[in-house]
Amino acid sequence: MQIKSEIASATSGEVIESPRVRGGRRPGRAPILSGLILILGLACSVAALAAPATAAPQEIPQPESPSGVWNGQDGKPLPFQNHDEVLDYLRTAKVVHREPAPEGINKPDVLTLEGNGIRARAILRQVASEKRRIRIGERFYFHFFDSYANECAAYDLARELGLGFVPPAVPRNIGGPGSLQIWIEGGRDASDKNFRPRSPMGWMKQVWDKDLFDNLILNVDRNTGNMLVGDNDELWLIDHTRAFQPNGELLAPEALQKINRNVWDRLEALSDDQLRDVVREFLQPDQVEGLIKRRELLQEKVGELVAKSGEGAVFY
C-alpha cells in the first residue's frame, strides 16, 4: 500500500544496541502510571465498601458521536455529528496555522484547520523509522517501528472494537506523509495531582479497557503523558507511534484484571483475515501477524482467568 511504501523508503536499516530514551509527552514518567492505577484501585475498593448495595456506579461515556465531546479552542463543542464527519474534516480542511507541539520527542506539530466554517486544531505526526536489534527495558526487538501510520491503525482498531478512547486520526500529506489527529482541547494528563475521578469505578473500567488494548497492540510507550482526561473524566489515549511491534508477546498480561464483555465479544468475533483487514492499510506484514498472535495469546490468558475465577469475576 502507499502508506507502507512511504514508511519503507524512510527506513535507515541502522543497527543499534539501545534506543532513544522516550517517555511520550514528558520523558521519564512511566512509573507514575502504576502508582496512579494503584491509588485509583484503592479508591474503587473504598467506594465499593462505602456505597449502598443498591447504588449503581456512574458510567463514563465513550460515545461514538463526538458531538459535545470534542471542543474548539473557545471551549465550545464542535458541530460534528459522528466520527465520519470528523475524519472527512481532517482529510480536507485547510491548514491556516502550524506550530511545534509543546511536547513530544518526535517533534509533532499542532495545526489549526478551517473548513466548512469550522475551526479546529489537530496534531500532525510525521515520524517514520524502522530500527533493527534494539532493547527497550527488558524486551529485545529484532525489528522496531516508530511510525505515524501506527496512530491511524490504533484509531481504526479501537473503533472496530467499540472503544471510543483513541481520537480520530487519518493519513494526510502536509509537506510530507503523516497522520493527522483531532486535538483534545483542555485535556489534562492523567497524572495531574488535582485529578479526582467523580466515579472511581467508572474510571477504573476505562483503565481496564486501556490495559486490554495496550496488550493487544503491544504499545511499549504508554505513560500518563499520553493518557489525557477530558471534561467528563473520559480517558483519551494518544501517541501510538511505537505500538504494533511485530513481537508475538503480551505487554503486561498481569495487568488484565477485568475484561469488557462487549469489547471482548467484538474481538473474538473477528476472523484472522477480518482482523488483518482492519489494520493492513497502515502496518507492515510482520506487524499484522504480531497482532494476530497477540489476539491468540489474549484468548489463552482470558481463558485461564475464567477457568480460575469464573466469567462473573472476569467480565464486566
Q: Determine how many CB atoms are found less than 10 A away from the CB of residue 252.
A: 12
E strand spans, 52-191: 94-100, 109-115, 118-125, 128-136, 139-147, 169-171, 179-182, 188-189
pLDDT tens, N- to C-terminus, the chain (316 residues): 556 655 544 444 333 333 333 333 333 334 335 444 444 444 444 343 334 443 443 444 444 433 347 899 998 999 998 999 999 999 999 999 999 998 877 899 999 999 999 999 999 999 999 999 988 878 889 999 999 999 999 999 999 999 999 999 999 999 999 999 999 998 888 888 889 999 999 999 999 999 999 999 999 999 888 999 998 899 999 999 999 999 999 999 999 989 999 999 999 999 999 999 999 999 999 999 999 999 999 999 999 999 999 999 999 9
Instruction: For CA atoms 225, 230, 233, 234, give the dihedral sign.
Output: negative
Q: Rounded to whole angstroms, what are the CA distances from 311 to 215, 221, 300?
A: 20, 31, 14
Conformation bin of residue 144: beta by default, left when phi > 0, alpha when psi is -120 to 50: beta
Q: Determine how many CB atoms are found less than 10 A away from the CB of residue 26.
A: 16
3-state DSSP call for residue 5?
Answer: helix
* Sequence spans of domains, the chain: 2-43+63-314
Report yes or no on whether pTM surpasses 0.85.
no
How far is the C-alpha of 38 from the C-alpha of 106, rounded, in Å?
A: 30
